[in-house]
Amino acid sequence: MLEDENKKAKKDSSTDVIVIGVGSIGYRHLRYAANRYANVVAIDTDEAKLQLIHKEYGASVSAFSSLEDFFLRDGSSYSSATAVVSNLGPDHFSTVKALLEKGIQKILLEKPVSNSISTCQDLVALQRLSGASIVVGFRRRHSGIVEAVRRSANEHCGSPPTTVVVHGGGSGHVNERHSLARFCLRAI
């Protein structure tokens, strides 16, 4: 069990880490946090995920079914907390707002930032009012995939793409050839 491994290493107790949404991306954040920080909280609406987290991490990670439930049960000050928002995009604004209202000033917000430009603008306004540090996770931006799609489109379609829409699994797995073939057919 990972709980035994986690006890062996000295962990940072100066920061609480709260991971909201423990799908494929959120779970990566949770795994990283659980290995490095003493106070880690996982929040997800899926009870099966919470049971898996409890089985894998034991008491080293606290698990809650909602952000509201966490705030009700935990009377702590959150001034040193860092939150990772990796739940569904349409829920990001309300989640970030709730975190800011509780005084959490360090937030990693996974993509998509929101499901509308208006809500993104509202989020920027909230950030400016609060002075919080909100970082958006676009880690795949420098992965090389953009250049690979551009080269492949030039080679197979005869021109660079103007728009690329990618639908993949929760962990970003995509059948690139199929997607590119559909793109080329539309472009012709």
Element of type H or E holding 6 = helix 2-8
In this prediction, residue 105 carries a pLDDT of 92
22, 41: one domain: yes
109, 149: one domain: no
Contact 154, 178 (CB under 8 A): no
Helix axes 176-187, 145-157, angle to 10 degrees: 50
Contact 69, 62 (CB under 8 A): no
33, 110: one domain: yes
In this prediction, residue 141 carries a pLDDT of 56
Q: Which residues contact 161 (CB under 8 A, 6 or more apart)?
A: 149, 150, 153, 183, 187
Contact 1, 56 (CB under 8 A): yes
90, 161: one domain: no
81 HSE (CA, 13 A, CB side): 22
161, 109: one domain: no
82, 168: one domain: no
101, 131: one domain: yes
In this prediction, residue 169 carries a pLDDT of 47
160-149-165-177 Cα dihedral, nearest 10 degrees = 120
Counted domains in the chain: 2
In this prediction, residue 99 carries a pLDDT of 95
72, 104: one domain: yes
- Write out the E strands in 115-188: 133-137
In this prediction, residue 159 carries a pLDDT of 83
156, 94: one domain: no
pLDDT digits (tens, 9 = 90+) for 83-120: 999 999 899 999 999 999 999 999 999 988 888 889 99
Q: Which residues contact 69 (CB under 8 A, 6 or more apart)?
A: 43
The pTM is what? 0.70
In terms of Cα–Cα distance, which of 42, 35, 38, 40 is closest to 5? Answer: 35
In this prediction, residue 21 carries a pLDDT of 96
d(CA 175, CA 155) in angstroms, rounded, equals: 18
In this prediction, residue 27 carries a pLDDT of 94
Domain span at residue 165?
142-187
The tokens describing 12, both together, are: 């940072």
In terms of Cα–Cα distance, which of 42, 33, 41 is closest to 12? Answer: 33
The tokens describing 132, both together, are: 């919080």
83, 146: one domain: no
Q: Which of 115, 137, 159 is the last residue of a domain?
A: 137
Residues of the chain scoring pLDDT < 70? 1-9, 74-75, 138-143, 164-188
